[in-house]
Amino acid sequence: MTVAAETTSKWSRRRRLTWARVGRGSVPYLLIAPVVGVLGALLAYPLYRLVVLSLQQYTLFELIQHKGKWIGLDNFRSILQDQVFWHTVLRTVIFTVANVGLTIVGGMLIALLLVRVSGWVRVLVMAGLVLVWAMPQVVAVQVWYWMTNYQNGVVNWVLAELHLGDLQHDWNATTFSSLSLVTLLIVWGALPFVAITLYAALSQVPGELVEAAEIDGAKPSRVFRDVTLPILTPILLILTSLSILWDFGVFVQPYLLINPSHIHPGNYLMSIYLFQEGFQKADYGKGAAISLLMLVIVAAMSFFYVRKMVKVGEVE
């Protein structure tokens, strides 16, 4: 009897313990549930609808009927067979590499400068950077448009006054020229974020390490390469992958600066291609397919950086 009673109590104690453990174990899941729920509603469901839409013929006609027509992978097929798509991908990749490269290198240089300059200069530069960052995109585009305008542009006027150029130079004459302007605008707008972040990261570089390297006779370039850069690597990886995401899908600046009436397949970037095919031509199914393809390309482009980032995280 006693043995039996003992076993029961042992059992029930163990069960109680298990329940307590389960209860304690489920707390994190309960805590994370709202976030998962919100993300699911905000990301997973729209993504699901996007995939559904990309498999349908959904033009103005279907929009009015409120009913798409299943066409399998036809949207993807027609996009992948479109010369314009491949040219646009190539152009956008080159554009992204140029933008991200200039942003990161420029931001790094400004950050290094900020460490060296005197206090009040740093405050001035910082203030300037924050002002750039604070300027709404559309306003910035208008200012740039005003400066590079053909008819009354300030840039042309200054160049003409300095006898360096033509009063009526057409900055939109070639795709290279107009996309270069867009690049300048985007890099200009992105520099503050990168520069200030890198400046903050630079202040984390231990002074004694730099000193030790200098005492050992390392030149500044060597110190930068072997001491500063490795410490900055995680933040550089994050900034680079974020910049790739932003610049690959950039829309407002090129669309407004090139001007809707001057956009044509010869100067498309991906997001503009998406907008023209999906919204201007009211072919929503094709638009959805393009946005999914963009997702794949961006994922492929940032794969390297994200993987490295995860590795860096594991080491630490």
Partner 1 sequence: MRTRVFVAALAAVALGVVAATASASGDRAAANKLTVWLQVDAQSGWPDVVAAANKQFTTDHPGWTVDVQYQNWGDHLQKFDATLAGGNSPDVIEMGNTEMVKYMAAGAFADISSSKATFANSANWLKGLAASGTYGGHLYGVPYYAGSRVVTYRTDAYAKAGIKKLPSSLAEFTAAAHKLAAKNSSTKGFSPVYVAGTDWYFAMSFVYDFGGQIAKTSGGKWQGSLDSPQSIAGLTAFKNFFLAASKASKTSDEAHPAPYDVYAQGGAASIIGPGWYSCCVGNKFKTTTAQFVMPSHKKGQPMPGFLGGSNLAVPASSANKALAADWLKDFTSTDNERALQAKGNIPNATNLLGTSVNERAAAQSWFVPAAKHWVDVENGNILRNMLAQILTGKLTVKQAAASASDNITSVLNGL
Binding pattern for the stretch 128-147 against partner 1, x by CB under 8 A and - elsewhere: ---------x----------
The angle at the Cα of 14, spanning 11 to 17, to the nearest 5 degrees, equals 150
Distance CA 151, CA 168 (A): 7
- Specify the residue, 145 or 224, whose C-beta has the smaller distance to partner 1: 145
Pick between residue 156 and residue 228 the one whose CB is nearest to partner 1.
156
Pair 210, 223: CB distance under 8 Å:
yes
Nearer to partner 1, 199 or 284 (CB): 284
Cβ count within 10 A of residue 98 = 16
Q: Which is nearer to partner 1, 213 or 254 (CB)?
A: 254
Q: Does 278 help bind partner 1 (rule: CB under 8 A)?
A: yes
The stretch among 9-17, 33-41, 107-115, 257-265 that binds partner 1 (CB under 8 A) is: 257-265
CA distance 27 to 47: 29
Q: Total residues at the site for partner 1 (CB under 8 A)?
A: 58
Closest CA to 223 of 237, 235, 211, 236: 211
Token pair in block for residue 282: 């009211």
Q: Does 243 bind partner 1 (CB under 8 A)?
A: yes
Kindly identify the residues of this chain, within the stretch 178-197, that bind partner 1 according to CB under 8 A: 186, 189-190, 193
Query: Which tokens in the block code for residue 129?
Result: 């950077």
Residues counted in the chain: 316
Q: Does 167 bind partner 1 (CB under 8 A)?
A: yes
- 281 lies in the binding site for partner 1 (CB under 8 A): yes
Q: Which of 114, 235, 288, 309 binds partner 1 (CB under 8 A)?
A: 288
Q: Which of 22, 27, 30, 64 binds partner 1 (CB under 8 A)?
A: 64
Q: Does 168 bind partner 1 (CB under 8 A)?
A: yes
Q: Which is nearer to partner 1, 159 or 205 (CB)?
A: 159
Burial of 279 (0-12, 13-18, 19+ CB in 10 A): exposed
Pick from 54, 86, 74, 59: which is nearest to 268 by CA?
86
Q: How far apart are CA 102 and CA 113, in angstroms?
A: 16
Least distance in angstroms from the C-beta of 136 to partner 1 = 9
Structural element, H or E, at residue 69: strand 69-70
Asked if 77 interacts with partner 1 (CB under 8 A), we say no
**287 interacts with partner 1 by CB under 8 A:** yes
Tokens found for residue 36: 């998962």
Query: Which of 21, 41, 121, 170 forms a contact with partner 1 (CB under 8 A)?
Result: 170
Part in contact with partner 1 (CB under 8 A); list of ranges 28-36, 107-115, 209-217, 240-248 = 240-248
User: Using CA atoms, how far apart are residues 179 and 91, in angstroms rounded to an integer?
Assistant: 10
Name the DSSP letter for residue 283.
B
251 binds partner 1 (CB under 8 A): yes
Q: Does 107 bind partner 1 (CB under 8 A)?
A: no
- 96 contacts partner 1 (rule: CB under 8 A): no
Min. distance of Cβ 283 from partner 1 in angstroms?
A: 9
d(CA 169, CA 156): 6
> Which amino acid makes up residue 44?
A
What's the token pair of residue 47? 């993504």
Q: Do 103 and 193 touch, CB atoms closer than 8 A?
A: no
- Give the interface with partner 1 as residue ranges (CB under 8 A): 46, 49-50, 52-53, 58-61, 63-67, 137, 149-152, 167-168, 170, 172-173, 186, 189-190, 193, 242-243, 245-247, 249-253, 259, 261-266, 271, 274-276, 278-282, 284, 287-288, 291
